Chain A
């Protein structure tokens, strides 16, 4: 087979993927029409940009940053002030260009702080970004004129004359603005991974010493990557402020925010380009929906994160890709039963453990509201021994079942992998 013949369908396939992405972005708000769903979709849109920009650092450059909220947050603040100036007529900027203003702000601050942070890599880099993050967060309290103190800065996105009847008042119009930026930014960031700079960034992550031997300045490569990440983070931050029409320094610049980006980018999967997009979707689902269901959601999040780092450091994206590989070789069918077993046992464990956790939380937080409450429809009583015993029993049974299911699954999985390896080896030498 000639290379041209294999190249053509591949590029065709990538066009199809991008087209599908655009269609999904366009159709989603029509499928989910409630205002909550549309607001969540909007948040997902700009969080995809932010998590992808974070992954330029974490996944592609191997730079673990604890201060990404600095660039999204400062992007938000500059965007808000730009919108307020435009409202007063002092800046001739229509709303569609505001995200670019935020992006330039992110770029500027990344160029400023990145000069210091990217001097180091690895663990030291992580600590310096943490320090810079604290520095900016503490400074925001010192300059209430710009950061608005504790109340934050508010704005109004409906300024200027409507163009083609678009006022950006309704959530749907904001969503499409976010979606457009999301699509273009994603495409640009994907293109970055194919450029020489993107490749060098990977090389600096994997083997900085060797990169220096062939004449590159690793610090410069990290610095450039950092600036680009800052630019897209700023765009994301500006879109967030367009959406909410308010920014608050104690939230937008906080270490908690930076930690959240890190957590979900990792959960989604830092080793694949599309991983952070999964992470962004999960971030919105967890912070909007899960936090409604349970007060203990941060505890669950921490547990999931811990297990993910220990057992699947490639995140959800790597799990998806591993299963896709099995499916490609037509061996997914035999995994269905083990998966069903795992799922059932896993559900039992989750049900038992979460019932226990919820009862403990209930005792600690809502003791005044009586001992009975419902958790996802299941009535629980934090004072009756039946609830405790039943939950513990479910948990124990689940754990035993999970261990059996796991052993069975590992056996089937390992055999499938062996067969795949053998098939690949057979094909190669031909």
Chain B
């Protein structure tokens, strides 16, 4: 029971962090049709900016300033690079963000070095929030959960209850009409791209000190976020939410389970030893296959439900 609740909470906080990342990606994708390959690079930039700012003036200002900086960078990239490539089609758009991810990685290594930086939690977030069955649940993870839910609420309100949100939604399906009504659609695109990057950076600010801040952090989470977006259904925000939570929870549980098929068979009374046929496969612990579970999940979804969990159309 104790193991179950704690793993569930850990899984939820990890899943919500994934959602903070995938929501920006999904927003950009559903609006502009651009798969932003550099999305997790913005996440990394957020973490590194927050590290530098928090050393200088503290964590709480960094929580605001780092996403704003990344917003400016993302918007500038859209304005001066992505928009230029737009006329060539979607594949070059993907390629240009792919090139950007290369550049950001190199620049981060250039400025902050190749090793992990000591980006630590602020005083207020250190220590446990509550103790459950003798195991402590850290404050930082509950902070992630709270922030992710707040962000979800804010994005939802922004999209459905404000004027700019209505323009964004309209530009999603009928860009020409919106333009004819006198709205600057390219500028809306620029704001959406910057906004998506800022959401990723916000995730980086709190993900960077809860986990680690290092040059490999973008790559580590990058492919998982893409899995989330495909599994949830391309362009579906609700699907991304569901898939993030699912993958977060599944992966956290799998890492903690120290059993293998062999030990299960042995427990059932069958005698399985290293001499048995297929021992390499049978002796794999669930914890060993945890890293590949998201990808297996992706393959299964594609075979049995190609449009994703909550996707509306087949891509």
Which residues of A pack against B, CB within 8 Å?
A: 62, 64, 116, 119-124, 126-128, 130-135, 138-139, 142-143, 145, 255, 259, 262-263, 266, 296, 298-299, 301-303, 305-306, 309-310, 313, 360-361, 364
How far apart are the CA atoms of A220 and B293 in the complex, in Å?
28
Known A-B contacts A302-B106, A364-B110; the reply to A138 vs B99 at CB < 8 A is no
Q: How far is the CB of A60 from chain B (nearest CB, A)?
A: 13
Which of B5-13, B146-154, B227-235, B236-244 lies at the binding interface?
A: B227-235
Q: How far is the CB of A400 from chain B (nearest CB, A)?
A: 19
Known A-B contacts A64-B95, A126-B94, A135-B299; the reply to A142 vs B289 at CB < 8 A is yes
Known A-B contacts A134-B223, A305-B102, A364-B113; the reply to A127 vs B230 at CB < 8 A is yes
How far apart are the CA atoms of A133 and B96 in the complex, in Å?
21
Partner of A123, one of B84, B94, B96, B109: B94
Which of B85-93, B131-139, B175-183, B199-207 lies at the binding interface?
A: B85-93
Partner of B81, one of A310, A313, A360: A310
**Nearest 3 pairs of A and B residues by beta carbon:** A302-B102, A135-B295, A302-B103
How far apart are the CA atoms of A360 and B106 in the complex, in Å?
12
B106 contacts which chain A residues (CB < 8 A)? Answer: 296, 298-299, 302
B230 contacts which chain A residues (CB < 8 A)? Answer: 124, 127-128, 131
B interface, size bucket: 35 or more
Is B99 in contact with A131, judged by CB distance below 8 angstroms? no
How far apart are the CA atoms of A135 and B230 in the complex, in Å?
15
Is B299 in contact with A302, judged by CB distance below 8 angstroms? no
A134 contacts which chain B residues (CB < 8 A)? Answer: 223, 292, 295
Is A128 in contact with B298, judged by CB distance below 8 angstroms? yes
The answer to whether the Cβ of B284 comes within 8 Å of any Cβ in the partner chain is yes
How far apart are the CA atoms of A123 and B34 in the complex, in Å?
8
How far apart are the CA atoms of A305 and B85 in the complex, in Å?
13
B98 contacts which chain A residues (CB < 8 A)? Answer: 259, 262-263
Is B96 in contact with A127, judged by CB distance below 8 angstroms? no
With both beta carbons as reference points, the residue of chain A lying nearest to B104 in the complex is identified as: A302
Is B91 in contact with A135, judged by CB distance below 8 angstroms? no
With both beta carbons as reference points, the residue of chain B lying nearest to A303 in the complex is identified as: B103
How far apart are the CA atoms of A301 and B105 in the complex, in Å?
12
With both beta carbons as reference points, the residue of chain B lying nearest to A363 in the complex is identified as: B110
Q: How far is the CB of B301 from chain A (nearest CB, A)?
A: 10
Is A119 in contact with B295, judged by CB distance below 8 angstroms? no
A130 contacts which chain B residues (CB < 8 A)? Answer: 223, 226
Known A-B contacts A134-B223, A298-B106, A360-B110; the reply to A266 vs B95 at CB < 8 A is yes
- SS class, residues of chain A in contact with chain B: helix
Is A127 in contact with B226, judged by CB distance below 8 angstroms? yes
A299 contacts which chain B residues (CB < 8 A)? Answer: 103, 106-107, 110
Q: How far is the CB of A262 from chain B (nearest CB, A)?
A: 7
The answer to whether the Cβ of B303 comes within 8 Å of any Cβ in the partner chain is yes
B226 contacts which chain A residues (CB < 8 A)? Answer: 127, 130-131
Is A306 in contact with B100, judged by CB distance below 8 angstroms? yes
Query: B160-183, CB under 8 A of A: which get 1 and which 0?
Result: 000000000000000000000000
Is B302 in contact with A120, judged by CB distance below 8 angstroms? yes
Is A127 in contact with B35, judged by CB distance below 8 angstroms? yes
How far apart are the CA atoms of A126 and B219 in the complex, in Å?
16
B298 contacts which chain A residues (CB < 8 A)? Answer: 128, 131
Is B299 in contact with A306, judged by CB distance below 8 angstroms? no
Is A306 in contact with B315, judged by CB distance below 8 angstroms? no
How far apart are the CA atoms of A313 and B87 in the complex, in Å?
11
Kindly list 9 other residue pairs between chains A and B, CB separation below 8 angstroms, not including A127-B35, A133-B223, A364-B110.
A119-B302, A120-B306, A132-B299, A255-B219, A263-B102, A296-B110, A299-B103, A299-B110, A303-B103
Is B223 in contact with A309, judged by CB distance below 8 angstroms? no
A360 contacts which chain B residues (CB < 8 A)? Answer: 110
The answer to whether the Cβ of B157 comes within 8 Å of any Cβ in the partner chain is no
With both beta carbons as reference points, the residue of chain B lying nearest to A146 in the complex is identified as: B280
Is A310 in contact with B85, judged by CB distance below 8 angstroms? yes
Known A-B contacts A126-B35, A142-B284; the reply to A119 vs B306 at CB < 8 A is yes
How far apart are the CA atoms of A255 and B218 in the complex, in Å?
13
Partner of B295, one of A123, A132, A259, A309: A132
A-B contact pairs, 20 of them (CB 8 A): A116-B302, A123-B234, A126-B35, A127-B230, A128-B298, A130-B223, A131-B223, A131-B299, A134-B223, A135-B296, A135-B299, A138-B291, A263-B98, A296-B110, A298-B105, A298-B106, A306-B96, A306-B99, A309-B99, A313-B92
Is B315 in contact with A123, judged by CB distance below 8 angstroms? yes
Is B223 in contact with A306, judged by CB distance below 8 angstroms? no
Partner of A309, one of B95, B291, B303, B315: B95
Query: B114-125, CB under 8 A of A: which get 1 and which 0?
Result: 000000000000
How far apart are the CA atoms of A309 and B94 in the complex, in Å?
10
Partner of A310, one of B35, B94, B96, B234: B96
Q: How far is the CB of B288 from chain A (nearest CB, A)?
A: 6
Is B292 in contact with A306, judged by CB distance below 8 angstroms? no
A122 contacts which chain B residues (CB < 8 A)? Answer: 90-91, 315
